Structure 1
Protein backbone atom coordinates (compact mmCIF):
# COMPACT_ATOMS: atom_id res chain seq x y z
CA UNK A 1 0.00 0.00 0.00
CA UNK A 2 1.40 3.35 -1.01
CA UNK A 3 1.68 5.90 1.77
CA UNK A 4 0.30 9.43 1.90
CA UNK A 5 -2.40 8.82 -0.69
CA UNK A 6 -6.15 9.10 -0.84
CA UNK A 7 -8.02 6.22 -2.42
CA UNK A 8 -10.58 7.32 -5.02
CA UNK A 9 -13.51 5.05 -5.88
CA UNK A 10 -16.54 5.64 -8.10
CA UNK A 11 -18.65 7.09 -5.32
CA UNK A 12 -16.45 7.62 -2.27
CA UNK A 13 -13.09 9.20 -1.58
CA UNK A 14 -11.32 7.37 1.20
CA UNK A 15 -8.10 7.81 3.12
CA UNK A 16 -5.42 5.17 3.39
CA UNK A 17 -4.59 3.86 6.82
CA UNK A 18 -0.81 3.93 6.40
CA UNK A 19 -0.70 7.74 6.31
CA UNK A 20 -3.30 8.48 8.93
CA UNK A 21 -2.25 5.90 11.51
CA UNK A 22 0.93 7.93 11.96
CA UNK A 23 -1.27 10.91 12.85
CA UNK A 24 -3.50 8.90 15.15
CA UNK A 25 -3.58 10.26 18.65
CA UNK A 26 -5.24 13.12 20.33
CA UNK A 27 -7.66 15.78 19.13
CA UNK A 28 -6.85 17.95 22.12
CA UNK A 29 -4.10 19.91 20.35
CA UNK A 30 -4.06 23.65 20.95
CA UNK A 31 -5.05 25.89 18.05
CA UNK A 32 -4.84 29.61 17.33
CA UNK A 33 -8.46 30.66 17.87
CA UNK A 34 -7.75 34.19 16.60
CA UNK A 35 -7.57 32.79 13.08
CA UNK A 36 -10.78 30.80 13.30
CA UNK A 37 -14.51 31.32 12.86
CA UNK A 38 -17.37 29.42 14.46
CA UNK A 39 -20.53 27.75 13.20
CA UNK A 40 -23.45 26.99 15.50
CA UNK A 41 -26.10 24.39 14.71
CA UNK A 42 -29.20 25.43 16.65
CA UNK A 43 -31.18 22.36 15.59
CA UNK A 44 -28.79 19.86 17.18
CA UNK A 45 -27.20 22.31 19.65
CA UNK A 46 -23.51 22.09 18.87
CA UNK A 47 -20.80 24.49 17.77
CA UNK A 48 -17.55 24.02 15.83
CA UNK A 49 -14.61 26.21 14.86
CA UNK A 50 -12.78 26.11 11.54
CA UNK A 51 -10.00 28.17 9.87
CA UNK A 52 -10.89 31.57 8.40
CA UNK A 53 -9.51 30.52 5.03
CA UNK A 54 -12.08 27.72 4.86
CA UNK A 55 -15.73 27.88 3.80
CA UNK A 56 -18.67 25.95 5.23
CA UNK A 57 -21.77 25.07 3.21
CA UNK A 58 -24.90 24.24 5.18
CA UNK A 59 -26.61 21.72 2.91
CA UNK A 60 -29.17 21.05 5.64
CA UNK A 61 -29.28 21.12 9.44
CA UNK A 62 -28.00 17.53 9.29
CA UNK A 63 -25.30 17.87 6.62
CA UNK A 64 -22.35 20.27 6.34
CA UNK A 65 -19.56 20.49 3.77
CA UNK A 66 -16.25 22.28 4.34
CA UNK A 67 -13.53 23.30 1.89
CA UNK A 68 -10.73 25.77 1.48
CA UNK A 69 -11.89 29.09 0.02
CA UNK A 70 -9.24 28.86 -2.69
CA UNK A 71 -10.40 25.39 -3.79
CA UNK A 72 -12.55 24.73 -6.83
CA UNK A 73 -16.28 25.05 -6.25
CA UNK A 74 -16.94 21.34 -5.73
CA UNK A 75 -13.65 20.33 -4.14
CA UNK A 76 -15.10 19.65 -0.70
CA UNK A 77 -12.63 18.36 1.87
CA UNK A 78 -14.64 17.51 5.00
CA UNK A 79 -18.20 16.42 5.71
CA UNK A 80 -20.13 16.61 8.97
CA UNK A 81 -23.26 14.47 9.19
CA UNK A 82 -25.94 14.04 11.81
CA UNK A 83 -26.76 10.33 11.85
CA UNK A 84 -30.21 9.29 13.05
CA UNK A 85 -31.41 6.07 14.63
CA UNK A 86 -34.83 4.50 15.15
CA UNK A 87 -36.28 5.18 18.59
CA UNK A 88 -39.01 3.09 20.23
CA UNK A 89 -41.44 5.43 21.99
CA UNK A 90 -43.16 2.58 23.86
CA UNK A 91 -39.99 1.26 25.49
CA UNK A 92 -38.26 4.67 25.48
CA UNK A 93 -35.03 3.15 24.15
CA UNK A 94 -33.24 2.80 20.83
CA UNK A 95 -33.57 -0.50 19.00
CA UNK A 96 -29.77 -0.84 18.93
CA UNK A 97 -27.11 -0.19 21.52
CA UNK A 98 -24.87 2.78 20.73
CA UNK A 99 -21.91 0.48 19.98
CA UNK A 100 -23.97 -1.62 17.56
CA UNK A 101 -25.40 1.50 15.95
CA UNK A 102 -21.95 3.02 15.34
CA UNK A 103 -20.47 -0.28 14.14
CA UNK A 104 -23.23 -0.68 11.54
CA UNK A 105 -23.02 3.01 10.65
CA UNK A 106 -19.28 2.93 10.00
CA UNK A 107 -19.55 -0.10 7.72
CA UNK A 108 -22.55 1.20 5.78
CA UNK A 109 -20.86 4.59 5.24
CA UNK A 110 -18.52 3.03 2.70
CA UNK A 111 -21.11 1.00 0.75
CA UNK A 112 -21.55 1.97 -2.90
CA UNK A 113 -22.29 0.35 -6.26
CA UNK A 114 -21.20 1.57 -9.67
CA UNK A 115 -21.02 0.44 -13.31
CA UNK A 116 -17.49 -0.96 -12.94
CA UNK A 117 -17.61 -2.33 -9.41
CA UNK A 118 -18.72 -1.93 -5.83
CA UNK A 119 -17.38 -1.37 -2.35
CA UNK A 120 -18.50 -2.06 1.21
CA UNK A 121 -17.27 -1.67 4.75
CA UNK A 122 -16.28 -5.13 5.93
CA UNK A 123 -15.34 -4.43 9.55
CA UNK A 124 -14.24 -1.75 11.99
CA UNK A 125 -10.60 -2.63 12.65
CA UNK A 126 -9.63 0.08 15.12
CA UNK A 127 -11.44 2.38 17.55
CA UNK A 128 -9.83 4.80 20.00
CA UNK A 129 -11.81 6.73 22.61
CA UNK A 130 -10.83 10.10 24.08
CA UNK A 131 -12.24 13.47 25.13
CA UNK A 132 -11.83 16.57 22.98
CA UNK A 133 -11.00 20.10 24.14
CA UNK A 134 -14.49 20.59 25.59
CA UNK A 135 -14.80 17.22 27.31
CA UNK A 136 -16.96 15.62 24.62
CA UNK A 137 -16.48 11.88 24.17
CA UNK A 138 -15.03 11.07 20.74
CA UNK A 139 -14.27 7.81 18.96
CA UNK A 140 -11.65 7.70 16.20
CA UNK A 141 -12.35 4.83 13.82
CA UNK A 142 -10.72 2.97 10.94
CA UNK A 143 -12.66 0.65 8.65
CA UNK A 144 -11.59 -2.19 6.36
CA UNK A 145 -13.19 -1.43 2.99
CA UNK A 146 -13.48 -4.10 0.30
CA UNK A 147 -13.36 -2.96 -3.33
CA UNK A 148 -14.64 -5.21 -6.09
CA UNK A 149 -13.89 -4.13 -9.65
CA UNK A 150 -14.49 -5.85 -12.97
CA UNK A 151 -12.04 -5.75 -15.86
CA UNK A 152 -12.47 -7.94 -18.93
CA UNK A 153 -15.14 -9.92 -17.07
CA UNK A 154 -12.69 -10.69 -14.28
CA UNK A 155 -13.37 -9.64 -10.71
CA UNK A 156 -10.60 -8.05 -8.69
CA UNK A 157 -10.82 -7.64 -4.93
CA UNK A 158 -8.80 -5.17 -2.88
CA UNK A 159 -8.89 -4.49 0.86
CA UNK A 160 -7.97 -1.03 2.18
CA UNK A 161 -8.12 0.25 5.74
CA UNK A 162 -9.49 3.80 5.73
CA UNK A 163 -9.99 6.56 8.28
CA UNK A 164 -10.05 8.42 10.50
CA UNK A 165 -13.80 8.74 10.95
CA UNK A 166 -14.75 10.63 14.11
CA UNK A 167 -18.01 10.00 15.96
CA UNK A 168 -19.56 11.89 18.87
CA UNK A 169 -22.78 10.80 20.57
CA UNK A 170 -25.47 13.46 20.53
CA UNK A 171 -27.39 14.41 23.67
CA UNK A 172 -31.03 13.32 23.61
CA UNK A 173 -32.76 14.85 20.58
CA UNK A 174 -36.33 15.63 19.58
CA UNK A 175 -38.19 12.65 18.13
CA UNK A 176 -39.04 13.05 14.44
CA UNK A 177 -41.05 10.36 12.61
CA UNK A 178 -39.75 7.67 14.94
CA UNK A 179 -36.09 8.75 14.59
CA UNK A 180 -33.68 10.79 16.68
CA UNK A 181 -30.31 12.26 15.84
CA UNK A 182 -27.85 10.00 17.65
CA UNK A 183 -24.32 10.76 16.46
CA UNK A 184 -22.22 13.35 14.67
CA UNK A 185 -19.86 11.93 12.05
CA UNK A 186 -16.84 13.93 10.83
CA UNK A 187 -14.70 12.61 7.98
CA UNK A 188 -12.56 13.70 5.05
CA UNK A 189 -14.02 13.45 1.55
CA UNK A 190 -11.13 15.01 -0.32
CA UNK A 191 -9.16 13.82 -3.30
CA UNK A 192 -5.41 13.27 -3.09
CA UNK A 193 -4.53 16.95 -2.64
CA UNK A 194 -2.89 18.38 0.47
CA UNK A 195 -4.25 15.49 2.49
CA UNK A 196 -2.03 16.29 5.46
CA UNK A 197 -3.61 19.71 5.83
CA UNK A 198 -7.11 18.28 5.45
CA UNK A 199 -6.59 15.72 8.19
CA UNK A 200 -5.07 18.38 10.43
CA UNK A 201 -8.12 20.62 9.96
CA UNK A 202 -10.44 17.65 10.46
CA UNK A 203 -8.78 16.92 13.80
CA UNK A 204 -8.93 20.58 14.84
CA UNK A 205 -12.65 20.80 14.03
CA UNK A 206 -13.30 17.61 16.01
CA UNK A 207 -11.32 19.05 18.92
CA UNK A 208 -13.37 22.26 18.82
CA UNK A 209 -16.83 20.66 18.82
CA UNK A 210 -18.88 21.49 21.88
CA UNK A 211 -22.49 20.89 22.81
CA UNK A 212 -24.58 23.89 23.84
Structure 2
Protein backbone atom coordinates (compact mmCIF):
# COMPACT_ATOMS: atom_id res chain seq x y z
CA UNK A 1 0.00 0.00 0.00
CA UNK A 2 2.81 2.43 0.86
CA UNK A 3 4.47 1.62 -2.48
CA UNK A 4 1.26 2.48 -4.33
CA UNK A 5 0.95 5.75 -2.39
CA UNK A 6 4.46 6.79 -3.45
CA UNK A 7 3.89 5.62 -7.04
CA UNK A 8 0.67 7.58 -7.48
CA UNK A 9 1.43 10.53 -5.20
CA UNK A 10 -1.32 9.80 -2.70
CA UNK A 11 -0.86 11.92 0.42
CA UNK A 12 2.78 12.55 -0.46
CA UNK A 13 4.82 13.62 -3.51
CA UNK A 14 5.14 11.03 -6.27
CA UNK A 15 8.45 9.17 -5.87
CA UNK A 16 9.07 6.10 -8.05
CA UNK A 17 12.37 5.26 -6.36
CA UNK A 18 10.63 5.10 -2.97
CA UNK A 19 7.70 3.20 -4.47
CA UNK A 20 10.05 0.57 -5.90
CA UNK A 21 11.85 0.18 -2.56
CA UNK A 22 8.55 -0.45 -0.77
CA UNK A 23 7.28 -2.81 -3.47
CA UNK A 24 10.56 -4.76 -3.41
CA UNK A 25 10.44 -5.05 0.37
CA UNK A 26 6.95 -6.57 0.23
CA UNK A 27 7.76 -8.68 -2.85
CA UNK A 28 10.69 -10.24 -1.00
CA UNK A 29 8.09 -11.60 1.44
CA UNK A 30 6.09 -13.03 -1.50
CA UNK A 31 3.31 -10.45 -1.23
CA UNK A 32 1.47 -11.13 -4.48
CA UNK A 33 0.19 -7.59 -5.10
CA UNK A 34 3.74 -6.27 -4.78
CA UNK A 35 5.17 -9.00 -7.02
CA UNK A 36 2.57 -8.08 -9.63
CA UNK A 37 3.28 -4.35 -9.20
CA UNK A 38 7.00 -4.95 -9.72
CA UNK A 39 6.16 -7.01 -12.79
CA UNK A 40 4.16 -4.10 -14.19
CA UNK A 41 6.99 -1.66 -13.43
CA UNK A 42 9.51 -3.83 -15.30
CA UNK A 43 7.08 -4.42 -18.16
CA UNK A 44 6.37 -0.71 -18.68
CA UNK A 45 9.81 0.60 -17.75
CA UNK A 46 8.40 2.95 -15.14
CA UNK A 47 11.38 3.97 -13.02
CA UNK A 48 13.51 1.04 -14.23
CA UNK A 49 14.76 -0.16 -17.65
CA UNK A 50 12.02 -2.00 -19.55
CA UNK A 51 12.59 -5.74 -19.09
CA UNK A 52 9.87 -8.18 -20.25
CA UNK A 53 11.77 -11.23 -18.98
CA UNK A 54 12.02 -9.92 -15.41
CA UNK A 55 8.39 -8.77 -15.63
CA UNK A 56 7.38 -12.29 -16.68
CA UNK A 57 9.29 -13.89 -13.79
CA UNK A 58 7.66 -11.58 -11.25
CA UNK A 59 4.17 -11.98 -12.71
CA UNK A 60 4.66 -15.75 -12.77
CA UNK A 61 5.54 -15.85 -9.06
CA UNK A 62 2.38 -13.88 -8.27
CA UNK A 63 0.23 -15.93 -10.67
CA UNK A 64 1.42 -19.25 -9.26
CA UNK A 65 0.46 -17.96 -5.81
CA UNK A 66 -3.08 -17.26 -7.06
CA UNK A 67 -2.95 -13.57 -8.08
CA UNK A 68 -5.62 -13.42 -10.78
CA UNK A 69 -4.55 -10.22 -12.55
CA UNK A 70 -0.96 -11.53 -12.69
CA UNK A 71 -2.30 -14.62 -14.48
CA UNK A 72 -3.58 -12.33 -17.24
CA UNK A 73 -0.28 -10.45 -17.32
CA UNK A 74 1.67 -13.70 -17.73
CA UNK A 75 -0.66 -14.70 -20.57
CA UNK A 76 -0.36 -11.30 -22.24
CA UNK A 77 3.44 -11.42 -22.27
CA UNK A 78 3.38 -15.00 -23.60
CA UNK A 79 1.18 -13.79 -26.46
CA UNK A 80 2.95 -10.52 -27.24
CA UNK A 81 6.68 -11.06 -26.63
CA UNK A 82 7.42 -14.81 -26.41
CA UNK A 83 10.80 -14.19 -28.05
CA UNK A 84 11.87 -12.16 -24.99
CA UNK A 85 11.04 -14.91 -22.50
CA UNK A 86 14.24 -16.93 -22.71
CA UNK A 87 13.38 -18.56 -19.38
CA UNK A 88 10.15 -20.02 -20.78
CA UNK A 89 10.35 -23.80 -20.22
CA UNK A 90 6.75 -25.00 -19.85
CA UNK A 91 5.27 -27.78 -21.95
CA UNK A 92 3.62 -26.66 -25.18
CA UNK A 93 3.98 -23.40 -27.04
CA UNK A 94 3.88 -19.96 -25.39
CA UNK A 95 0.54 -19.34 -27.17
CA UNK A 96 -0.94 -22.49 -25.64
CA UNK A 97 0.37 -21.52 -22.21
CA UNK A 98 -1.19 -18.07 -22.63
CA UNK A 99 -4.61 -19.63 -23.26
CA UNK A 100 -4.19 -21.84 -20.19
CA UNK A 101 -3.44 -18.80 -17.98
CA UNK A 102 -6.35 -16.83 -19.44
CA UNK A 103 -8.64 -19.80 -18.81
CA UNK A 104 -7.50 -20.06 -15.19
CA UNK A 105 -8.04 -16.33 -14.66
CA UNK A 106 -11.46 -16.57 -16.35
CA UNK A 107 -12.46 -19.45 -14.10
CA UNK A 108 -11.48 -17.29 -11.13
CA UNK A 109 -13.95 -14.63 -12.32
CA UNK A 110 -11.53 -12.16 -13.95
CA UNK A 111 -13.34 -10.04 -16.58
CA UNK A 112 -10.02 -9.42 -18.31
CA UNK A 113 -9.33 -13.16 -18.42
CA UNK A 114 -12.86 -13.94 -19.60
CA UNK A 115 -12.68 -11.39 -22.40
CA UNK A 116 -9.23 -12.59 -23.46
CA UNK A 117 -10.35 -16.23 -23.45
CA UNK A 118 -13.33 -15.20 -25.58
CA UNK A 119 -10.91 -13.59 -28.03
CA UNK A 120 -8.90 -16.81 -28.20
CA UNK A 121 -12.06 -18.71 -29.16
CA UNK A 122 -13.11 -15.97 -31.59
CA UNK A 123 -9.77 -16.00 -33.41
CA UNK A 124 -8.74 -19.63 -32.87
CA UNK A 125 -5.52 -18.90 -30.96
CA UNK A 126 -3.15 -21.00 -28.92
CA UNK A 127 -4.35 -24.39 -30.07
CA UNK A 128 -7.96 -23.49 -29.36
CA UNK A 129 -10.31 -24.30 -32.21
CA UNK A 130 -12.27 -21.31 -33.46
CA UNK A 131 -15.64 -21.46 -31.72
CA UNK A 132 -17.87 -18.40 -31.91
CA UNK A 133 -20.39 -19.88 -29.49
CA UNK A 134 -17.78 -20.22 -26.76
CA UNK A 135 -16.42 -16.78 -27.63
CA UNK A 136 -19.87 -15.30 -26.98
CA UNK A 137 -20.17 -17.18 -23.68
CA UNK A 138 -16.95 -15.69 -22.35
CA UNK A 139 -17.49 -12.22 -23.81
CA UNK A 140 -20.91 -12.17 -22.15
CA UNK A 141 -19.53 -13.19 -18.75
CA UNK A 142 -16.97 -10.38 -18.90
CA UNK A 143 -19.57 -7.91 -20.17
CA UNK A 144 -21.83 -8.75 -17.23
CA UNK A 145 -19.03 -7.42 -15.00
CA UNK A 146 -19.02 -4.16 -16.97
CA UNK A 147 -15.83 -4.73 -18.98
CA UNK A 148 -15.81 -2.22 -21.90
CA UNK A 149 -13.64 -4.39 -24.16
CA UNK A 150 -16.04 -7.30 -23.64
CA UNK A 151 -19.04 -5.08 -24.44
CA UNK A 152 -17.31 -4.13 -27.68
CA UNK A 153 -16.40 -7.72 -28.58
CA UNK A 154 -19.88 -8.99 -27.81
CA UNK A 155 -21.24 -6.13 -29.92
CA UNK A 156 -19.09 -7.28 -32.84
CA UNK A 157 -20.54 -10.78 -32.51
CA UNK A 158 -24.07 -9.37 -32.66
CA UNK A 159 -23.22 -7.11 -35.59
CA UNK A 160 -21.63 -9.97 -37.53
CA UNK A 161 -24.13 -12.61 -36.41
CA UNK A 162 -21.45 -15.04 -35.22
CA UNK A 163 -22.23 -17.19 -32.19
CA UNK A 164 -25.56 -15.34 -31.87
CA UNK A 165 -28.37 -14.27 -34.19
CA UNK A 166 -27.48 -11.03 -35.99
CA UNK A 167 -28.95 -8.05 -34.14
CA UNK A 168 -27.62 -4.62 -35.06
CA UNK A 169 -29.77 -2.90 -32.42
CA UNK A 170 -28.17 -5.04 -29.70
CA UNK A 171 -24.74 -4.44 -31.24
CA UNK A 172 -25.31 -0.70 -31.05
CA UNK A 173 -26.45 -0.94 -27.42
CA UNK A 174 -23.30 -2.86 -26.51
CA UNK A 175 -21.06 -0.46 -28.42
CA UNK A 176 -22.65 2.44 -26.51
CA UNK A 177 -21.92 0.73 -23.19
CA UNK A 178 -18.31 0.17 -24.25
CA UNK A 179 -17.97 3.73 -25.54
CA UNK A 180 -19.29 5.07 -22.23
CA UNK A 181 -16.39 3.20 -20.64
CA UNK A 182 -13.93 5.01 -22.90
CA UNK A 183 -13.40 2.26 -25.48
CA UNK A 184 -12.13 3.89 -28.69
CA UNK A 185 -12.85 0.85 -30.88
CA UNK A 186 -16.49 0.75 -29.83
CA UNK A 187 -16.83 4.47 -30.53
CA UNK A 188 -15.40 3.87 -33.99
CA UNK A 189 -17.86 1.01 -34.48
CA UNK A 190 -20.73 3.36 -33.61
CA UNK A 191 -19.41 5.73 -36.26
CA UNK A 192 -19.39 2.93 -38.83
CA UNK A 193 -22.99 1.96 -38.02
CA UNK A 194 -24.03 5.61 -38.32
CA UNK A 195 -22.26 5.76 -41.69
CA UNK A 196 -24.12 2.65 -42.88
CA UNK A 197 -27.37 4.30 -41.79
CA UNK A 198 -26.33 7.44 -43.75
CA UNK A 199 -26.37 9.48 -40.56
CA UNK A 200 -23.25 11.31 -41.65
CA UNK A 201 -23.12 13.98 -38.94
CA UNK A 202 -23.34 11.32 -36.22
CA UNK A 203 -20.70 9.25 -38.00
CA UNK A 204 -18.28 12.19 -38.08
CA UNK A 205 -19.01 12.92 -34.42
CA UNK A 206 -18.26 9.33 -33.37
CA UNK A 207 -15.12 9.08 -35.50
CA UNK A 208 -13.77 12.28 -33.94
CA UNK A 209 -14.53 10.93 -30.48
CA UNK A 210 -12.77 7.66 -31.33
CA UNK A 211 -9.66 9.56 -32.44
CA UNK A 212 -9.67 11.53 -29.18
CA UNK A 213 -10.09 8.40 -27.07
CA UNK A 214 -7.39 6.57 -28.98
CA UNK A 215 -4.73 9.17 -28.22
| TM-score after normalising by structure 1 | 0.21
* Structure with the larger helix share: 2
By relative contact order (CA 8 Å, sep 6+), the higher-ranking structure is 1
